[in-house]
Structure 1
């Protein structure tokens, strides 16, 4: 799986490098998936290691780049960036996957049967499977298709306000305190990073410390995700219409450092605010709340701030 991730990352980054040079010459140049996919046979001849990877994994990597360009030209995201090892290790199989829920095993093309921990029943027809690495562990996300009947929506409505000291304050007076997982583990993480900086690069001790840092990052992310899921589920179950401010989280958490010519003001205070907003995961919370309300026949309504 590491090898497949490396091949997918290689194809993505090499294609992006080529496309960037073309874009610099002509700002109107757009990415064409078909042209990029046609280069793969030639690349496989020059780089035999690519032949060992499943061909559809490489194609799906190019489709991810295609979507990144679409988001850029539609002004939904910045220009595509290179993928980094360990940070962007994921592969997707659009077909050819088999599942044995009784034995808790999944067969991935060109990899074979792999055991997995079953967190929920798989319903419907499998459309694609994404395998990604977080720290030392691997996650498998199975996308399926099936029909559901929407339940009768709860007629209750409520407005919520986001904050740093109180994660959510509701119009009925209730509020939810934030867990701030990164803030709680920040000193421990800094201590491990200082320890890693003193150790010899590539040594056994540095490898052990890296694993501890990876485990801590995963624990922080899992704690945050667990809190967001529980909070969004509770609100979606009790209310069908939820009003929130249409907050631009990326703008709110942007750096206030400025430039040498025009340095920013209150940079330290602003960086602390940015850290708190990102630690609490506002964007993910809005996303979770939106699809959970829709699943229950409700709706998330964003109001001009």
Structure 2
């Protein structure tokens, strides 16, 4: 099986290289905005839009001219890639079956990135040593940027397809998309149902639990202090920019902790089970605001707000997306079932009633047979029973 994945490293550019990267990202943003303005003018005049080939000819004219000659000082392939992205954005926006959002102009300092689609232009020096014979940071060569050091935290491990350089919270990172062949092993373990929750991140049908990491809750107080400090600064001043980067780095830290937890948890579950059954949760509707409108104001807004924050802190959607491709990599069967009635149905006698779990309590107790068990485990057992896999060994898969 051929798969594509990305590995991300942190770059260690010099001051001069940071200036070159910022200038190159600014040129990409300029090309996008100018091409978008031209396309919008064509649309307003009723002439349709220009194709990518026509816009690429315009880019060549800009780079060879005097007015926009500064574009030639930065690499051309990321600028051409910006035109390709814009052309694809227009095609998706005008798709009658599933229209996407109309492309918008890019702002400075937001999502600064460069994509090099041609891997032949990228060079690596992964085993360099200094004058004393000691290992030093690995290096990557980017056109018109030069050799830059990066922290090689894990092996690249595949055929390079493209490279994306991005600025995240004041730090430059490089994401390398690779393609490689994997041979899925026979899945180990039995079938398991998973019920995602807030008190416990996941309850398994065998009675075990995956404890949550609660990354946002750990950093919430520090983030609030940083946001308050930024609000006291003059907007767009030098001190405001520094405070904004501090807030961004805390957000990035929270996201990194959550992502690391979700990756490790999903990989561990895929390696230890042959079948996984999860609920088809509508996270967007579950975490919607309860404020209501002026005519019909909502109730228990603060309680729902805290519950929404706890839901979003778990990363359920990202966890499901990870399971979808990791189960395929490991040869594990993934079943996604509707969640209706899973936490109010007794797994022993099958009696379903809201009184079995009044007020969404932690413990489930059947009013018919008296069975008492953790509500998450009950939901996971019901999911497994619905999937028709009461006990499934690896050999049966």
State the TM-score, normalized to the length of structure 2.
0.67
Contact residue 187 and residue 272 of structure 2 kept, 8 A: no
Per the TM alignment, residue 111 of structure 1 is displaced from its structure 2 partner at its CA by: 0.8
Per the TM alignment, residue 176 of structure 1 is displaced from its structure 2 partner at its CA by: 1.9
Structure 2 CA distance for aligned equivalents of residues 117 and 261 of structure 1: 56
Structure 2 CA distance for aligned equivalents of residues 286 and 30 of structure 1: 38
The CA RMSD over aligned residues, in Å, is 2.9
Q: 1:248 to 1:216 in 2, by over 3 A?
A: same
Per the TM alignment, residue 256 of structure 1 is displaced from its structure 2 partner at its CA by: 4.3
Per the TM alignment, residue 205 of structure 1 is displaced from its structure 2 partner at its CA by: 4.1
Greater mean deviation of Cα atoms: 179-188 or 264-273: 264-273
Contact residue 187 and residue 271 of structure 2 kept, 8 A: no
Contact residue 141 and residue 147 of structure 2 kept, 8 A: yes
Q: What residue in structure 2 maps to residue 135 of structure 1?
A: 169
Q: Give yes or no for the alignment of 1:41 onto 2:66.
A: no
Per the TM alignment, residue 254 of structure 1 is displaced from its structure 2 partner at its CA by: 3.9
SS in 1 for 2:141: strand
Q: Give yes or no for the alignment of 1:253 onto 2:287.
A: yes
Q: Give yes or no for the alignment of 1:52 onto 2:77.
A: no
Q: What residue in structure 1 maps to residue 29 of structure 2?
A: 9
Q: Give yes or no for the alignment of 1:218 onto 2:239.
A: no
SS in 1 for 2:262: helix
Which residue, out of 83, 100, 115, partners 1:62? 83
Structure 2 CA distance for aligned equivalents of residues 158 and 252 of structure 1: 24
Q: 1:11 to 1:301 in 2, by over 3 A?
A: farther
Q: What residue in structure 1 maps to residue 125 of structure 2?
A: 100
Query: Larger helix proportion, structure 1 or 2?
Result: 1
SS in 2 for 1:39: helix
Q: 1:168 to 1:87 in 2, by over 3 A?
A: farther
1:140-198 Cα shifts (integer Å, max 9, x gaps): 11112232222223362222122223221222222222222222222221212222222
Structure 2 CA distance for aligned equivalents of residues 161 and 223 of structure 1: 22
Structure 1 CA distance for aligned equivalents of residues 300 and 50 of structure 2: 41
Contact residue 240 and residue 296 of structure 1 kept, 8 A: no
Contact residue 31 and residue 69 of structure 1 kept, 8 A: no
Q: Which runs of 5+ in 2 are unaligned?
A: 1-20, 129-137, 340-397
Structure 2 CA distance for aligned equivalents of residues 256 and 13 of structure 1: 37
Structure 1 CA distance for aligned equivalents of residues 201 and 175 of structure 2: 28
Q: 1:289 to 1:23 in 2, by over 3 A?
A: farther
Structure 2 CA distance for aligned equivalents of residues 164 and 128 of structure 1: 38
Q: 1:159 to 1:24 in 2, by over 3 A?
A: farther
Which residue, out of 65, 75, 89, partners 2:112? 89
Per the TM alignment, residue 79 of structure 1 is displaced from its structure 2 partner at its CA by: 4.1
Q: How does 1:112-123 map to 2 (within 5 A)?
A: 112-123=146-157
- Give the structure with higher Rg (CA): 2
Q: Give yes or no for the alignment of 1:289 onto 2:323.
A: yes
SS in 2 for 1:139: strand
Contact residue 240 and residue 298 of structure 1 kept, 8 A: yes
Q: Which runs of 5+ in 1 are unaligned?
A: none
Which residue, out of 271, 276, 288, partners 1:242? 276
Contact residue 178 and residue 280 of structure 1 kept, 8 A: yes
Q: 1:56 to 1:262 in 2, by over 3 A?
A: farther
